[in-house]
Structure 1
């Protein structure tokens, strides 16, 4: 059929021209399904020339909608396969027109491939947007919302239908939103500036605060004109704001900032992230009295008025919360009955409500309260509760650390056994008394040393000796006046400071003490006689400086001992002969070192987990033919004074290694030996090389030797000591901090030292069953050691209860009289054999083996 035969000739020319100009394809099909019109747009869509299709069957167009009989109206988007095999998306609309009894079908087609692809991309973007954990917000240039993602709906509680069309500021901004910062950023973006970021408070549908980090940018068209404002909102309530509180506290604690400054910083930071509150932190002492720690926005006179108030069931919000150990909310201070005696000043400065939460220690004690004051009658929001939950834990950590440090500070200046001032505190007290001494008056200083105290320790054990010293301290307190001061230097040595006392008055005090000590002491079921020797010196008659005054009192005390003990002496010039005696003692010590008269005794260290021997500690002993047994407490300080201590230290290492080599050749399994060294040893840069030579001489591995050092070694000589310690640790020899906790050392320094072991001082071990402070310090030392990967050893373990408590704390190793005192080598060997046999018997008991097997195990043991 030619074109002239087609009905299209019946279409007016104007309409034909219009059909040709149409963007889409227009196809007309007659009732016989022949194509009668095919415009230029159709040629582009099907990629067919009209000469190829006019008069042809419509099947050529691959349209299923034309195959139906009768052909129905149709409108849809389909996938269209063209003759060349390519595929496009096409919007197809089919209509039927009847004219003169003849029906024609008109197909309108439009290529929507690009639109479909764009819709797919938009769908993907929507899917990605809904999967992100950040809220997406898009507005027009007037800040009317045009799009939000599902995270936005979750975070703020508005669906996309509820949010779209509303102004962003009206929807999520609130009282404390930083509108000026947002407006400034948007203005900058609209004028061509780069995208920016701000942190601010916004509000959800329920009015709850949410801290967000908003990254804001502008979408522009091809001509650079701003069309939309884009905001990506990240909820930083947990990730940044609350974490910033933790970082603030931890960094302050690491810098050893005072607790009041920490509390002040914490309150200020809280008020930054919760601008509608006034923050307060109160400490609750052991007596139940409150003391302000932090409250920078509260009136100063109000904070002062709170200091010293006792907690109770109707003492405002904080006092009541501390009393009951539960949070307390007063939504209206003016009417709350608990606030009536305290409300005037808060109401004057516009504080109308108060919510207080108790801060508890690990043992359940309320040690502080954390309070929010509000400027309107109200309850706390969820955001406020989240802040307080974080601050309560942080506050507890900071305050407990403060209490622990205060206890350590107290221990640094007070004797833990008797509670008396120690040597360091005594020097301060003596200086103060001398400075305050009126012209023409005196200050008397009395040194007291218990007679034959070593016999008590050796016979009845250190626990009995400690009890004797406690009772002695009590008797001494009863014999001195309210202005006098009693202190303990260490061991069995006490000092009595007698301000404004002359020689006659001081002698009366000494005589009263002698009389009081005449009555026996009761130690359990035993009664012990006790006596003491006292030496007295006077300021300014005998000396005008502390050191000389103390030396003279010490010299007088030795004269009292030489006079037969249980008496007192006042220093006189004739006592200068004591210096000669001291020189004689030094000479005897030099001879003992040169002639090998010093010996080592060994005390076992036992593993808590299985009772096996962890190692031994070597302890120097000196028996002189004339002087008898000389206590290490006497000759070690003397050796330090006269320059012999370094020599004794190296001798101790060599002798301990020699003994270890002998034991190992004899088949005795002793893992390591600990030797005490003086801080002076660590000033010698050749110490590590000397140790290496000694170990090689006796063919011992480095881990067979452990060196015990005092905290003073790295506190006083930090640079030199640290270099030596690092060299020793590289050698493989272990380092142990002896008497840890008594030197008030810095934990931050300890964490960077090459230490392998911590030793809990026996003063803490002694009271661990009955004193919460000693238990807390021991617990802290174990936790520090565990945290730093160190072995923790407890000294002075004398009872099964002490051992059990330490084991429950996780202490790795114990040593003390519970197992054995320090023993000479032969005695230690016998003890070790018996201990191994006892271990074997215990194992047999657990295994319940047969008699034959039991005999075999016993023979092997």
Structure 2
């Protein structure tokens, strides 16, 4: 049985420099190594259609990547707020990869900043797990929550960016008109399936008699598409037939149980289809052109992100379908371009080589705040800040015939700036060179990217640098700094007693209160960071150790004068500080170790003091 007093320090040493997925892997491997005969996992619990645990990370390869979660220890942990220790954990919790039963189970809930469940950190052991290990591991579970949330946010952002790229690519190919509609849609479906492994996508159009005509379904068996061919839609005809009939989304999570599929269960079983989510393709005039559907081999419930993808795909297809009908009815290519411009969800324009707007879509007018008549009297440089006629004409002349995509900034009529993504290509219109451009407002995406970057560097509770960013800045400072440099390690005194007596909400207020006073006391150029729990660190460039000691004593005096006022109570706040300075030729790890030793001496000297080690 591991020594609880060393357990936390060993975990800290192993994970100090790891971030993201590396941190999660390192944490699990270290947990399993420190607790003999054990396996550690991080699982996400989801209903599909019953509660199932998906193993995201593990300290050793598992034969199964999922296991039933209903009634398991992991479900108990995910529903609670605190870590949980169970002796003789239920055997249904997870299949035993080593062929023996587990003695103990320890679990920690993983939650995002809003308190929503991200999953469970679990440790299964054949030896007894000391209760003290729960408390020792809890700060690392909190860090795991933050890393897991950040990874999920990055994945969602990447997914949105991939979808924007797919949307722009499909519209460019459609405008290019070199591919037939079936070829274009077959390519769109294939790209979606590459982005969403496990999805089997299908585009079904309706003929004049309201019968289904499969148009693009590259991953579904041809025999299945042949069955759909010519089938009439109806209020209870599977997913696609019902979605087209009602003009509303139909989600069949389990084809063997959904009432719409009762007559077709044998067909679904024959082709190993477990679920089908269908979204109607409805244009701006309300016409239903068909459906976009996602099949999976297993029963599955769509996530909110999947629902958004369904809606976006159907909207893109509606634009293409509607404009295809318009295109067929137009007499000239010039008129066709005009129809595409006015019916597209993107902001389109046609600009001559002198920078004049020749055609503009309603969407572009709305984006820039001008009427169509006003824009058609203007030049491009009037809506592009910090530009000139010469620069704009040079840029237009260099536009590629094959098309290009880039980020830019436009000026709204009221003076505010718009961050946009531009897709432009040079072509001939009525024998004259022009530039066809589409613009999309990406301000929300850019703001999200900036927010994610800030979140990646900032501790959400205190507003100061988080552990990862502080250690990166410390490493960089040690490598580049040539003068005096001091470092503090700080630990709030008796913080556990505050949590136990006043509650964790008071503890959170105390951490934020302390960080605020700390930042007020620090000199210019100093960097404060929260390393985890009640442990902080401060980097003091160009500050010798004697001055750092004085700043520390001033901070401690400030804390004594400003206790935390919480719910009409005054809660005393003191801190132990270990201070040291950088020695010639040493690295950041040695500097941290010595500052930590100084902090250890300060705590054993009675707390509420600062110990300096040169």
Q: TM-score, normalised by structure 2?
A: 0.35
Q: TM-score, normalised by structure 1?
A: 0.26
Q: Which has the higher contact order (CA 8 A, sep 6+)?
A: 2
